[in-house]
Chains A and B, each alone.
Chain A
Amino acid sequence: MSDKKKTGADILLDTIYKNGVDKMFGLPGGAIIPIMDAVKDHPIDFILTRHEQGASHMADGYARATGKPGVILITSGPGATNTLTGIMTAQMDSVPMVIISGQQATSNLGLDTFQEADISGMSYPIVKHSYLITDPKEIPKAINEAFFIASTGRPGPVILDIPKDVANAVIDEDYDDTIDLPGYLAKPELDIDKIKDAAQMISQAQKPIFLVGHGAIISGADKILKTIVEDMNIPITNSLLGKGCFPEEHPLNLGMPGMHGTAYANMALCECDLVVSIGSRWDDRIAASPKEFCAQAKKIHIDIDLVEINKVVKVDIGLVGDAKDVLEKLHKYLEPNDTSKWIKTVNKFRKDYPLKYKKEGKLRAQHVIEEMYNLAGSDVIYTTDVGQHQMWAAQFIKINSPRNWISSGGAGTMGFGFPSAIGAQMACPDRKVVTIVGDGSFQMTLSELSTAVVNKLPIKILLLNNRYLGMVRQWQNLFYENRLTGVDLEGNPDFLKLASAYGAKGFRIRRSSDVRKVLKEALQYNAGPCLIDAVVEQHDNVFPMVPSGANLDKMILGFPQKRKELE
């Protein structure tokens, strides 16, 4: 090796390795073979997936579980286009990701050559930044910049498109790899005067509430947040992606608000006199009607991305900065106010409008999820897919530490849950990983069962099988006179046989009386992945529900007696 001159591919891997990456996920093809050849003797592990979308979600899960960028290595053309969904998912949820995409030789670009796709052109709207490298000497600099951009500020995906001849080229060792990004601001400077104003507003509020999002987790703000919440005695609610930043079992945590949030979180938001968003971007699943949203309250927004301030909800004070830095400064100027009356009100909401479901009779998805949580506990990484099961999981699984909850929020990408669990398990081999998936979502990326089996990953796949695309069915049921169209998953496979065909262990739950026993057994199985096929009631809807586009005060608590109530 040592007397061999280094190629673009060697330098590429060396630079990736220097950036702290020990695993890459992907699937090779013609244009990436020079890099695959360099992978052979390199200390970085290459995890072969069965589809590039799977690779992209694995890198995503790896990144969300650790905070380190997830890396994908894929080939040109269809290899690259197959990752677009995963890249969009990462961009929407601010996940650091670096995508190394093989490309046709430079001389072939733009000529419709075999497996040539203009991946830079296709991905501009869904990446934080991208590079098409035409000079091999640019590789180290571009890789360093890509990792820096992906993992700092508001994290996101960065693509490096590398033509085959660039990877093959022999490079002299005197290259320049220093980062030069005059147009990029990794950490905005804090405005202390505004922080003081915000501190005063919070200290004087009678009925304040914190709305905590993914940004708070990304910045590592959990400790300072806990100090502030407890010193100030302020109730908090966390977005779907903010779960775990502040313990959900804590008496001041109201869980998730919004379309399928807890009634008490939504009621508290409707009653508060100040809402402080900490790294949450007033997503339309929470603030569907921006003008009406918390219209009675003052608003403070802490976000590292200037674009988010006043983007949808107009705020009284916008604090641009890293959530942890802002909170640490803010803490110095806060003075506790007596919020005991407000806490009492909030606790009454919690007592009067608890989350509920029927435990008797048919097997309920909520029951299976709650029991999984009771048995597995909170020191587990939970990942989910997208749909009804995701919302029930968000409602019934309490997350007490950051990075223990991985779910596709902004993009709502079905097929995300299982591969993201593989990524998380690869990143944290000693942790217990449970993925909660629906039968619709799981079938979008189930070919990764091979990846999980080959790598002996003891992931628990909890499949909530209602033989429907349940969330769409729910909307058709509630808002389209139950005119069910394109939601019946007739033709589902026998999931036990499927698991067995892949060499994975399978379990099945049909009756509520079996839930505990089967889950216990599944949780003890660690020789590889296991799939638990829970055949649940088909027609359950997720409640509470705030109809699309409506303000939180229009929340429906359960199936209406008269359909009129929905209009």
Chain B
Amino acid sequence: MNNNIEKHSISLYVNNKPGVLIRTSLVFARRGYNIDSLVVSNDSNNPKFSRMNIEATGDTDTLHLMLAQLNRLVDVIHARDLSGEDILQKELSLVKLECPIEKRTELLQIAEAFSAKTIDLTENTITFQIAGSSEKLNRAETLLHGYKIKEIVRTGKVLMTRGEEATA
């Protein structure tokens, strides 16, 4: 068994039906694997189907087995592991910070460095919207941990292949 522990980005194209999310997540849960992030969205080109992007951490062999098990599900049209491929991946996070007036300039400077948008500002708080790669979001988060973060919400990673190639 290969003990190569890695984060995997899996893209699925599935039927847009009740129960599909349970069937999919059971493939992970059965092995005691946690899903790190999950995004589900309807395919607006064809509302009969949905796309899922799942991030999970584990050894490569097991994740390959789980990929085959996902593909075996009747409701999964196809599942692909896109880890390591040159694909478009973006994530969005909202960060709400405690922000007394004297910290405002400092925080706005950091926000600028990450091209974050200020989407809410009150007397004591400021909320940024940061978009980009997960790594960029992590770096911004690390830096903002020097201040008082009240809440962070992240969307999870969305994936798309480049050019003509279909995503999942």
B22 touches A181 (CB 8 A): no
Residues of B within 8 A of A183 (CB): 14-15, 73-78
A125 touches B65 (CB 8 A): no
Residues of A within 8 A of B26 (CB): 124-125
When each residue 62-78 of chain B gets 1 if its CB lies under 8 Å from chain A and 0 otherwise, what string results?
Answer: 00010011011111111
Which of B68, B69, B74, B78 touches A149 (beta carbons < 8 Å)? B74
B74 touches A132 (CB 8 A): no
Residues of A within 8 A of B75 (CB): 129, 183
**B19 in the interface, Cβ–Cβ < 8 Å?**
yes
A129 touches B74 (CB 8 A): yes
Residues of B within 8 A of A128 (CB): 74
B76 touches A124 (CB 8 A): no
When each residue 203-229 of chain A gets 1 if its CB lies under 8 Å from chain B and 0 otherwise, what string results?
Answer: 000000000000000000000000000
**B84 in the interface, Cβ–Cβ < 8 Å?**
no
Residues of A within 8 A of B145 (CB): none
Residues of A within 8 A of B78 (CB): 183
Which of A124, A305, A307 touches B23 (beta carbons < 8 Å)? A124
Q: Which of A124, A132, A183, A306 has the most CB atoms of chain B within a 10 A radius of its CB?
A: A183
Q: In chain B, what residue has the closest Cβ to A182?
A: B77
In the assembled complex, the CB of A138 is this many whole angstroms from the nearest CB of chain B, namely: 11
Within 8 A of A (CB), among B9-35: 14-15, 18-19, 22-23, 26, 30
Within 8 A of A (CB), among B41-80: 65, 68-69, 71-78
**A121 in the interface, Cβ–Cβ < 8 Å?**
yes
In the assembled complex, the CB of A152 is this many whole angstroms from the nearest CB of chain B, namely: 11
Which size bracket describes the interface of B in this complex? 10 to 19
Within 8 A of A (CB), among B122-166: none
Q: Which of B23, B72, B76, B77 has the most CB atoms of chain A within a 10 A radius of its CB?
A: B72
In the assembled complex, the CB of A523 is this many whole angstroms from the nearest CB of chain B, namely: 44
Residues of B within 8 A of A130 (CB): 19
A306 touches B74 (CB 8 A): no
Residues of A within 8 A of B76 (CB): 183
**A115 in the interface, Cβ–Cβ < 8 Å?**
no
Given contacts A121-B22, A124-B23, contact A307 B73 (CB under 8 A): no
B19 touches A311 (CB 8 A): no
A306 touches B77 (CB 8 A): no
A307 touches B68 (CB 8 A): yes
Given contacts A307-B68, A307-B69, contact A124 B19 (CB under 8 A): yes
B68 touches A125 (CB 8 A): no
A307 touches B65 (CB 8 A): yes
**A184 in the interface, Cβ–Cβ < 8 Å?**
yes
**A120 in the interface, Cβ–Cβ < 8 Å?**
yes
Residues of B within 8 A of A121 (CB): 22
Residues of A within 8 A of B22 (CB): 121, 124
Q: In chain A, what residue has the closest Cβ to B61?
A: A310
C-alpha spacing A518/B119, complex, angstroms: 88
A120 touches B19 (CB 8 A): yes
A181 touches B72 (CB 8 A): no
Within 8 A of B (CB), among A92-122: 120-121
B30 touches A307 (CB 8 A): no
Residues of A within 8 A of B71 (CB): 306
C-alpha spacing A565/B26, complex, angstroms: 42
In the assembled complex, the CB of A145 is this many whole angstroms from the nearest CB of chain B, namely: 8
When each residue 144-174 of chain A gets 1 if its CB lies under 8 Å from chain B and 0 otherwise, what string results?
Answer: 0000010000000000000000000000000
In the assembled complex, the CB of A167 is this many whole angstroms from the nearest CB of chain B, namely: 19
C-alpha spacing A513/B76, complex, angstroms: 61
A132 touches B18 (CB 8 A): yes
C-alpha spacing A112/B72, complex, angstroms: 33
C-alpha spacing A100/B133, complex, angstroms: 48
B72 touches A307 (CB 8 A): yes
C-alpha spacing A67/B27, complex, angstroms: 28
Subset of 13 A-B contacts with CB under 8 Å? A124-B19, A124-B22, A128-B74, A129-B74, A132-B18, A149-B74, A182-B15, A183-B74, A183-B77, A306-B68, A306-B71, A307-B72, A311-B65
Given contacts A124-B19, A181-B74, 6 further A-B contacts (CB under 8 A): A129-B75, A130-B19, A183-B14, A183-B74, A307-B69, A311-B65
Which B residues fall within an 8 A CB radius of A? 14-15, 18-19, 22-23, 26, 30, 65, 68-69, 71-78
Which A residues fall within an 8 A CB radius of B? 120-121, 124-125, 128-130, 132, 149, 181-184, 305-307, 310-311
